Amino acid sequence: MIEFINVTKSYPNGDVVIDSLDLVVNPGDFIVITGKSGAGKTTIGRLLIKDLIPNKGKIIFDGEDLAKIPPKKIPLLRRKIGFIFQDFKIIPDKTIGENISIALEIAGFNPSKIQQKVTRLLEMVGLPKKENLFPMQLAGGEIQRASIARAIAADPQVLFADEPTGNLDEQTSIEIFDLLKKINADGTTVIMSTHDVTLIDLHKARHITLQKGKIISDTGGKKKSPENTTKEKIDAKPESKTKK
């Protein structure tokens, strides 16, 4: 589903945040990425939604090379990849229900079914009957749940959660992690970045550790999705003949 091939991202000041990264994410994976601040966790997500462009290397998503996706099709890409931001990105002067409705409208959801969808999403994330409340009326964990509901509103194939438990207490962090596991169990591929390694001990998850933009450990190993493996074999066909 997702493949980073020798991807490097650096900034004009010379800082290298992703360094020759090779990463394969298979459909249905639940991946927890850990590493110190600046290790490159958030950058992986931003590269995936084409908010950043790599200096070199290739990123394949759903069989497409992201470098070949024109700007006008980036919104379509982002409908397939839900993103939970560290600072929530919830619109403060809109109710929770309105925040989710806007995401559905942008995704082209049937207007007559938006209200029903909003209600179902809020029930799923544990916020029933709170759609008319404003963000300031909710606790931190509730705002995070609302941001998760908005991120999965368009039924994305992949959900990238950037430090979703960063400012939450231990119990609320566990509840959010459990919610992400539930979303994963329903068929969504989940990639979560976090500083909190204790969460990994509580649940089975593929654990990737980043250090200075490089993967220094990966409990899931490297696997290639069928479509990418096939493509690679096709691309490598002339070389294979030479070997024979």
**CA dist 73 to 50, 68, 234, Å?**
11, 10, 26
Which domain range does residue 80 map to?
Answer: 2-243
Please report the pLDDT score of residue 197 as a whole number: 73
The answer to whether the beta carbons of residues 35 and 22 sit under 8 Å apart is no
Name residues whose C-beta falls within 8 Å of residue 138's C-beta, 6 or more positions apart in sequence: 96, 130, 146
Can you give the CATH number for the domain in which 50 is found?
A: 3.40.50.300
> Can you give the length of the chain in residues?
244
Q: What is the DSSP string of 118-152?
A: HHHHHHHTT-TT-TTS-GGGS-HHHHHHHHHHHHT
In total, how many domains does the chain have? 1
User: What's the whole-model pTM score?
Assistant: 0.86
The span from the CA of 28 to the CA of 2, in Å, is: 11
Q: What is the mean pLDDT of residues 231-242?
A: 38
Name residues whose C-beta falls within 8 Å of residue 215's C-beta, 6 or more positions apart in sequence: 21, 22, 23, 208, 209
In tens, the pLDDT along 92-134 reads 999 999 999 999 998 889 999 999 999 999 999 999 999 999 9
Please report the pLDDT score of residue 16 as a whole number: 95
